[in-house]
Amino acid sequence: MHITPRRGRTATVIAAGVAAVVALSGCTASGGGGGASEGALLTVPREDTASFTPNFNPFTPDASPFTEQAIFEGMFIYNPADGQTTPWLAESWEATADGTGVTFHLRDDVQWSDGEPFTAEDVVYTFELQQEVLGGYAYVTEVSAPDDTTVEFTFDAPNSPAVFDVGQESIVPKHEWETFDDPATETNPEPVGTGPYTELANFGAQSFDLLPNPNYWQPDKQKIPGIRVLAFAGNDGANLAAANGEVDWAPQFIPNIQKAFVDKDPEHRHYWFPGTGSMIQWTLNTTKAPFDDVAVRKALSMAVDREQVTEIGMMGYAHPADCTGLSDNLDGWKDEAVLEACDWTTLDVDAANALLDEAGYARGSDGIRTKKDGSPFAFKISVGASSSDWLSVAQIIAENMKAIGVAATVDSPDWGQVVEGYEQGTFDTGIAWSGNGPTPWSYYRTAMSSTTLKPVGEQAFDNYHRFADPRADELLAQLAAAGDEAAQQAAANELQTLYSELAPVVPLFPGPEWGAFTDTRFTGWPTEDDPYATLSVRSPTTVLVLTTLEPVAK
C-alpha cells in the first residue's frame, strides 16, 4: 500500500513582500539541513510514521522500525530473492522422519546485549509468550529444550512448511520478559536483544539511533557505526530526502524512480524491485454468477493485457504473472509442463470471445453480453483510492473488458470500505493481494483450500474470492506431510496443474518489493546480480544487509 499524493511542480518565484514577513527570529542557527555531517550512521527513512513513540515489543503489530530487523533475531533467515536459507541463531535443524516436528541446534556462542547467555530456554519461552499474546502457532503442540542448545518442536500433524514460520520467529530474552507485568502491552523502551544494533540513542519523536550491540555474536560483521531512522509523514517527504541524497536507503515507493532518483547520480544510485512480494491478483467473487464459471474466469483473464498493466499501470516495475499464480520467490518450484501449456494468462481476445460465446454468454444488440439470468454482463472492480498504481491497473482492466463485450466500472472508495467488501464477500471483483510463503503451500492454501473458505457474511481474512476444491485440500495436506523435497515438489506440481485448470483467481503480477540505495557512504548492497537479500527494511533478510554493509573508506 503506497500512498502517492501528487507532487507539486517546482515553483515559479513567489511574490515579493514575503521577505518582509521573515522576521521570525533574528538568529541564524548553526548546522542547517544536516546530511553531510551525518556520514557516520546508516540513515533510513520511515515513510509512514510522522513521529515515533518508543515501542520495541516484537509481539505488537506496529513495533518501531528495526525492532525485528536489528534488535531481535530468528533461528534462521529465508531469503525470497534467491530461495536460500541462512542459519542464524541456529546452526542446523532437521525435521523428524514423519514430518510432525523439527529439531533446531542452536549456536552456543550467542549472548544477549546485556551480556546474559542465549539458550534454548529463551526459544521455548518466546513461543509460549507468542501463543499467549498473539496466538498463531495453533499447530505447535509442544516446544521443549532437552539441553541448552537444542529445541524440539512437535506439531499436531505433518507440516513441512511450518519450519519456516517457527525458524523465523524473533526470539526474546526470557530473563527480561518474565519481569514484565503484561507482555502484551509492554512497550519495552530499553530493549535487550541478540541483534547487531540494539543500543537505543537520541530517541525523539522524529528520529532515533540504534548503535552497535556490545555483545554481538558476529562482531566482525558490525562494520557500520549504527542506524539512524527518520520519521516522515508520507512518501513525498521521504522521496525528497532520497532525491537530495540525505538518506542511504530508500525502501519506499518512488514514482518515476529513474528520473526522480537515479538520474541525479547514476553512478551511485540504484534500485532493484524483485517480484518477491505476494501475487497481486484480480479477485473475482465466485459466490456470484457468472464468476462461478471457470470459462468466464479464464475468458476474463485472457482479455487482460498484462503487458499494459505492468508497463503502464505499474510503471514497468513489475512483470506479468503466469498460469501457476506463483510469485518470483517460488520460481524454483514452478512446473515446466504447466508453464508450457499456459494459455489463460496471456492476452488473446479472440479466444476469450470464443470461450464466452461457447459458454452461452451471447452478445446483445448493444455489443454487451448477457448473463445466464438475462441481465447485462456488468460488474465493478474495487480498489482503494489511495493506491494510485493499482487504480490505474484497474482502469486498464476495465478498458480491456470492452473488447469482449463486458462492462466493467472501477469503484475506488477508501481502502477500509474495499476491504470490508472483500471480507464480507459482498464485492463483485477487486484488485487484492494474496498469501505468500517460502513454499507454494501458503499461496494455494489462500487460493483454493476449504480451510480458508468462509461463507458470505462471515469475515474472511484471506481467500476473498471464496473458492475451494476438495482435490486442493488433499494435495495441500500431501505437500505439508511430505518429508523430502522430491515428494514436496510432486505435490506442488499437481497443485499447479489443478490451479491452472480451475483458475480460481486471475493472477496479474508478482508484487514488487520496493528498494533503492545510494552507495556514496556505504557499500555492499544486495542487487540483482548479488541477491543475498531484498532491499526491504521490514523483512527478515534486512539483518543480512545490516551485517554486510560497510562504510566507504574516506
- 307 vs 414 by CB, closer to other proteins: 414
- Maximum separation of any 2 CA atoms in the chain, in Å: 80
- 31 vs 115 by CB, closer to other proteins: 31
Name which of 50, 150, 36 is nearest 102 in CA terms. Answer: 150
- 136 vs 214 by CB, closer to other proteins: 136
Cα–Cα distance between 397 and 420 in angstroms, integer? Answer: 22
Cα–Cα distance between 374 and 299 in angstroms, integer? Answer: 19
Residue 204 has which C-alpha cell?
Answer: 525523539
Could you tell me if 379 and 408 are in contact, meaning their C-beta atoms sit under 8 angstroms apart?
Answer: yes
| Least distance from other proteins to the Cβ atom of residue 232, Å | 5
Name which of 240, 233, 230 is nearest 7 in CA terms. Answer: 240
- 27 vs 486 by CB, closer to other proteins: 27
- 416 vs 455 by CB, closer to other proteins: 416
Name which of 512, 510, 511, 503 is nearest 302 in CA terms. Answer: 503
- 69 vs 452 by CB, closer to other proteins: 452
Cα–Cα distance between 281 and 382 in angstroms, integer? Answer: 12
- 59 vs 344 by CB, closer to other proteins: 59
Q: How far is CA 178 from CA 61, 134, 163, 466, in A?
A: 20, 16, 26, 42
Give the dihedral sign, CA 489/491/495/497: positive
| Least distance from other proteins to the Cβ atom of residue 546, Å | 19
- 232 vs 344 by CB, closer to other proteins: 232
Could you tell me if 465 and 428 are in contact, meaning their C-beta atoms sit under 8 angstroms apart?
Answer: no
| Least distance from other proteins to the Cβ atom of residue 508, Å | 14
| Least distance from other proteins to the Cβ atom of residue 404, Å | 29
- 116 vs 246 by CB, closer to other proteins: 246
- 17 vs 332 by CB, closer to other proteins: 17
| Least distance from other proteins to the Cβ atom of residue 179, Å | 17
Burial 35-68 (b: 16+ CB within 10 A, else e): eeeeeebbbbbbbbbeebeebbbbbbeebbbbbb
Cα–Cα distance between 367 and 183 in angstroms, integer? Answer: 62
Could you tell me if 2 and 253 are in contact, meaning their C-beta atoms sit under 8 angstroms apart?
Answer: yes
3-state class percentages of the chain: helix first, strand second, coil last, to nearest 5: 30, 20, 50
Could you tell me if 507 and 345 are in contact, meaning their C-beta atoms sit under 8 angstroms apart?
Answer: yes
H or E element in which residue 111 lies: none
| Least distance from other proteins to the Cβ atom of residue 462, Å | 7
| Least distance from other proteins to the Cβ atom of residue 314, Å | 15
| Least distance from other proteins to the Cβ atom of residue 108, Å | 32
- Cα torsion at 49, 55, 56, 61 (round to 10°)? -70
Which residue stretches of 437-484 are H helix? 440-448, 470-481
- 241 vs 323 by CB, closer to other proteins: 241
457: β partners? none
Cα–Cα distance between 322 and 542 in angstroms, integer? Answer: 28
| Least distance from other proteins to the Cβ atom of residue 52, Å | 8
| Least distance from other proteins to the Cβ atom of residue 124, Å | 20
| Least distance from other proteins to the Cβ atom of residue 262, Å | 18
| Least distance from other proteins to the Cβ atom of residue 437, Å | 10
Residue 526 has which C-alpha cell?
Answer: 544486495
**How far separated are the first and last CA of the chain, in Å rounded?**
38
- 1 vs 157 by CB, closer to other proteins: 1
Cα–Cα distance between 196 and 221 in angstroms, integer? Answer: 8
